[in-house]
Chain A
Amino acid sequence: MQKAESIKQKVMPSGDTFASSCNACKQCTPLGACIAFKGLEGVLPMLHGSQGCATYIRRYLISHFREPVDIASSNFSEETTIFGGNKNFNTGIDNIIKQYHPRVIAIASTCLSETIGEDVQRLIFEYQETHNTMPDLPVMIFASTPSYQGTHSEGFHEAVFAAVKTLAEASGPVGDHINLFSNMISPEDIRHLKEIVEDFSIPVVLFPDYSDTLDNTSWDSYRRIPDGGTTVDELKKSALAYASVELGYILNSGGMNGRIKDNGTKQSAGEYLKSKFDVPLVRTGLPVGILESDKFFNALSSISGKAIPMKYQRQRGRLVDLYVDGHKYVSDKRAVIYGEEDLVVALAAFAAEIGIKPVLCASGGESGKLAGTLREVLGKNYYEDMVVGQGMSFERMEEVMQELKPDLMIGNSKGYYIARKMDIPIVRTGFPIHDRLGAQHTHVLGYEGTMILFEQIVNTLLEDKQRKSPVGYKYM
Chain B
Amino acid sequence: MAEYLEGRENQIVTKGIDSHELVGGKPSVAGSVSQRACVFCGSRVVLYPIADALHLVHGPIGCASYTWDIRGALSSGPELHRSSFSTDLREKNIVFGGQDKLYQALHELIDKHHPKAAFVYSTCIVGVIGDDVQSVCKRVQKEKNIPVVAVMAEGFQGSKKDGYKIACDALFSLVGTDESMDVSPLSINILGDFNLAGELWMLEEYYKKMGIQILAPITGDGRVKKIQNAHRAALNVVQCSGSMIHLAKQMKEKYGIPFIKVSYFGIEDMSDALYEVAKFFKDDSVMDKARELVKDQLTTLIPALEPYKRALQGKKAAIYVGGAFKAISLVKALRLIGMKTVIAGTQTGNTEDYRLLKTICDDGCIMVDDSNPVELSEFVKQTGADLFIGGVKERPIAYKLGIGFCDHNHERKLALAGYDGMLNFAKEVYETVTSPVWQFVNRSTPFDNE
A interface residues with partner B (beta carbon < 8 Å) = 1, 15-16, 18-24, 26-28, 30-31, 46, 49-60, 62-63, 66-78, 80-81, 87-89, 91-96, 98-100, 110-112, 115-116, 146-149, 151, 216, 218-224, 258-260, 364, 395, 414, 417
B33 near A56 with CB under 8 A, answer no
CA distance A49 to B37 in the complex (A): 12
B84 near A95 with CB under 8 A, answer no
CA distance A26 to B95 in the complex (A): 22
Q: Which residue of B34, B69, B87, B88 is within 8 Å of A55 (Cβ)?
A: B34
A23: chain B residues within 8 A (beta carbon): 68, 83-84
CB distance from B321 to the nearest CB of A (A): 15
B33 near A52 with CB under 8 A, answer no
Given the contacts A98-B3, A222-B401, A51 and B31 also touching, CB distance less than 8 Å: no
A75 near B86 with CB under 8 A, answer no
B372: chain A residues within 8 A (beta carbon): 99
CA distance A59 to B280 in the complex (A): 41
Given the contacts A112-B155, A220-B444, A92 and B30 also touching, CB distance less than 8 Å: yes
CA distance A287 to B105 in the complex (A): 40
CA distance A22 to B55 in the complex (A): 10
CA distance A19 to B87 in the complex (A): 6
- Of B124-132, B183-191, B217-225, the one contacting chain A is B124-132
Q: Is B133 an interface residue (CB 8 A)?
A: no
CA distance A8 to B158 in the complex (A): 48
A111: chain B residues within 8 A (beta carbon): 59-60, 62, 94, 124-125
Which single residue of chain B is at the shortest CB-CB distance from A218? B441
B33: chain A residues within 8 A (beta carbon): 54, 58, 70-73
Q: Is B56 an interface residue (CB 8 A)?
A: yes
B425: chain A residues within 8 A (beta carbon): none
Q: Which residue of B85, B93, B105, B392 is within 8 Å of A148 (Cβ)?
A: B93
Q: Is B36 an interface residue (CB 8 A)?
A: yes
Q: Is B38 an interface residue (CB 8 A)?
A: yes
CB distance from B104 to the nearest CB of A (A): 4
CB distance from B434 to the nearest CB of A (A): 18
Q: Is B396 an interface residue (CB 8 A)?
A: yes
A49 near B124 with CB under 8 A, answer yes
Most A-side CB within 10 Å, residue of B36, B56, B127, B396: B396
CA distance A24 to B441 in the complex (A): 39
B102: chain A residues within 8 A (beta carbon): 19
A24 near B84 with CB under 8 A, answer yes
CA distance A80 to B35 in the complex (A): 20
Q: List 5 A-B contacts (CB under 8 A).
A: A19-B104, A21-B87, A26-B65, A56-B67, A149-B91
Which single residue of chain B is at the shortest CB-CB distance from A216? B400
B39: chain A residues within 8 A (beta carbon): 52
B30 near A95 with CB under 8 A, answer yes
Near A by CB (< 8 A), chain B positions 55-111 give 56, 59-69, 83-95, 101-102, 104-105, 107-109
CA distance A439 to B395 in the complex (A): 16
B66 near A60 with CB under 8 A, answer yes
B155: chain A residues within 8 A (beta carbon): 50-53, 76, 112
CA distance A295 to B89 in the complex (A): 38
CA distance A75 to B39 in the complex (A): 12
Q: Is B393 an interface residue (CB 8 A)?
A: yes
Q: Is B285 an interface residue (CB 8 A)?
A: no
Given the contacts A62-B396, A80-B156, A260-B95, A16 and B34 also touching, CB distance less than 8 Å: no
B440: chain A residues within 8 A (beta carbon): 218
A71: chain B residues within 8 A (beta carbon): 33
Given the contacts A62-B396, A111-B59, A148-B125, A55 and B108 also touching, CB distance less than 8 Å: no
B124: chain A residues within 8 A (beta carbon): 49-50, 52, 76, 81, 110-112
B28 near A51 with CB under 8 A, answer yes
CA distance A58 to B32 in the complex (A): 13
B27: chain A residues within 8 A (beta carbon): 75, 77
A89: chain B residues within 8 A (beta carbon): 30
